[in-house]
Amino acid sequence: MASALGVHERLIAEFPKLAETAYQLTSERTDKYNCIAWAAGDDGYWWWPGRFWPKGVPAAVTKVAFSKAFAERGYVECDVPDLEEGFEKVCLYTKLGRPTHAARQLPDGSWTSKLGKNVDISHELEGLRGNKYGQPALYMRRPRSAELEAQAPSDDESIAGT
């Protein structure tokens, strides 16, 4: 990436704990999708309550509403972020009780995040803790087989403008 140094500097400025933890850039910058979509396995849309959001899920920026949104993708709440054989996990960050960000666990136990309109990274959960996104506040998991069964959201009639 031609501007990789600039990107790293920007990331560290916004998320200082990335400097103390392992992370890698995994995409170019794009505003095609956001963190919620990416955590849910969708790289084609920008998910947000009231617009592009699972039908029947409250259009609210609350932990409960976001939990229900991921539940529509087969996730159930769990206690810890640790890697579990056969399961894929997502983590919801909140700041002052409001959802700010979501990350998805990779098979090696690291996490993948889309950072706003910027890049995707693989990282440790601790790396994004801080003033911007707050802290990890909710973990959910689903069998990895469910990942394969999930339809592409763009073809999924349960995901639409609300």
Do residues 56 and 114 touch, judged by C-beta distance below 8 A? no
Query: Is 44 or 56 the residue whose CB approaches another protein more closely?
Result: 44
Q: Contact positions toward another protein, by CB under 8 A?
A: 10, 14-15, 31-32, 34-37, 44-48, 51-52, 61, 98-101, 114-118, 132, 160-161
Query: Is 35 or 140 the residue whose CB approaches another protein more closely?
Result: 35
Query: Is 87 or 112 the residue whose CB approaches another protein more closely?
Result: 112
Supply the minimum distance, in Å, between the C-beta of residue 117 and another protein: 6
Tell me which DSSP letter residue 43 carries.
Answer: S
Do residues 90 and 70 touch, judged by C-beta distance below 8 A? yes
Tell me which DSSP letter residue 142 carries.
Answer: E
Supply the minimum distance, in Å, between the C-beta of residue 100 and another protein: 7
Quick one: three-class SS letters along 53-108?
EECCCCCCCCHHHHHHHHHCCCCEEECCCCCCCCEEEEEEEEECCEEEEEEEECCC
Supply the minimum distance, in Å, between the C-beta of residue 142 and another protein: 21
Query: Is 45 or 78 the residue whose CB approaches another protein more closely?
Result: 45
